Amino acid sequence: MRSGGDAPVTVTHLTAPTDHRAQMIEDVRHGLTAYRKHLASKYFYDARGSELFDQITRLPEYYLTRAETEILSERADEIMKDVQPDELIELGSGSSHKTHLLVEAMYRSSTGRRYVPVDISEEALRTAASRLCDDYEWLEVEGLVGDYVPDLGKIRRRGRRIIVFLGSTIGNYVPTLRHSLLRSVADALEPGDGFVLGLDLVKDEPTMIAAYDDAQGVSAEFNKNILYVINRELGGDIPVDAFEHVTRFDRELACMAQSLRASREVVANIRALDLAVTFIAGEEIHTEVSCKFSKPQVEQEFDAAGMRLDSWFMDDGEGFAVAVASLQPPQEDSNLRQPN
């Protein structure tokens, strides 16, 4: 095994590095001055937030990680055999057991040894890539810093590829943004390539709600962590204990919706924004959606993006699915002259 320092990890920015703090100031100002206050869920993930989410994935109520791992443990070899990729592109920095399952299956298929994680965080990329290189001496890793939608098309091709997006993270995208993401994936594929997508399915509400509001309160702490991040990074004095974790199922959108509700009137100052924000008692800050899916819906969304559903694998409880898609075959031109 190699040491992390010897791992051949390269990290490339697909676009010029952005000023993270300036972007955060813009996002927080926009969100907290909106009629319906909201914050971007990406700000959950400082070091503490990442650790809290890792704890969530191991909770008894949070079935998603176990279900997806079960599917990939049984189907990864089949998926790789069908696609036979030269490279595996992962949306997100996957250093988890699930990524290992796919990388190992690719190696066993004797087709590819190149792993390309794409993430907005350079730190997350380097950490994940180094761990994988430590475990697999044969693996070539190139981390790419970028945004999935505008930057996927910039990834240079090294042969047939498989793009993977795990964890039902696609559920964090509302329908319009989801279409843009799927369209970007389709544009990055060629005939013979594959797309692997993890999807949480619509099920009974108590099961879904428990996954985002566990008995130990880890999900609540994870939700509130976004306020700690704002206080630390932007000089805020938001009283975190004045907000309570709220999760509910939005039947119209088929999404779990997370928010933070003020238990009393709050006036908070954020120095970096030169802004005082007032929250009335009962007012909520929307923080995240986690949409759920059905097979017909996924087929429809793939079709609208220019892809077709090739395989549909579910866990034993039939509450989670891994979908494998490819480009739609070219349509015949109905205006072509028919032979006599």
Residues 70 and 154 in one domain: yes
User: CA triplet 271, 274, 278: central angle to 5 degrees?
Assistant: 90
* Residue 284 in domain: yes
Under 8 Å CB-to-CB from 50, ≥6 apart: which residues? Answer: 124
Residues 220 and 134 in one domain: no
SS3 state of residue 270? strand
Residues 254 and 315 in one domain: no
Which pLDDT score is estimated for 245? 98
Which pLDDT score is estimated for 299? 98
Question: Token pair 């700690």 is at which residue?
Answer: 228
Residues 101 and 197 in one domain: yes
Q: Do residues 141 and 67 touch, judged by C-beta distance below 8 A?
A: no
Q: In which element (H, E) is residue 142 found?
A: strand 140-145
* Residue 309 in domain: yes
Which pLDDT score is estimated for 335? 53
Question: Token pair 């509001």 is at which residue?
Answer: 213
Residues 177 and 233 in one domain: no
Which pLDDT score is estimated for 332? 56
* Residue 333 in domain: no
Which pLDDT score is estimated for 241? 97
Which pLDDT score is estimated for 340? 46
Phi, psi of 231 (to 5 degrees): -60, -45
Residues 52 and 111 in one domain: no
Which pLDDT score is estimated for 25? 95
CA 35 to chain CA centroid, Å, is: 27
* Residue 334 in domain: no
* Residue 100 in domain: yes
User: Is 320 buried (19+), middle (13-18) or exposed (0-12) by CB count in 10 A?
Assistant: buried
Under 8 Å CB-to-CB from 35, ≥6 apart: which residues? Answer: none
Q: Per the structure, how many domains does the chain have?
A: 2
Residues 33 and 141 in one domain: no
Residues 117 and 133 in one domain: yes
Residues 254 and 322 in one domain: no
Under 8 Å CB-to-CB from 59, ≥6 apart: which residues? Answer: 214, 216, 218
| pTM, to two decimals | 0.91
Which pLDDT score is estimated for 247? 97
* Residue 338 in domain: no
Residues 196 and 236 in one domain: no
Residue 169 DSSP class: G
Domain containing 152 equals 4-15+62-204+294-327
* Residue 335 in domain: no
* Residue 145 in domain: yes
CA 191 to chain CA centroid, Å, is: 25
Under 8 Å CB-to-CB from 199, ≥6 apart: which residues? Answer: 168, 170, 171, 293, 298, 320, 321, 322, 323
pLDDT, mean of each 10-residue run, the chain (340 residues) = 53 81 93 96 88 93 97 97 95 83 93 89 81 88 88 92 96 94 96 97 97 97 97 97 97 95 98 96 98 98 98 97 94 51
Residues 134 and 272 in one domain: no
Residues 247 and 147 in one domain: no
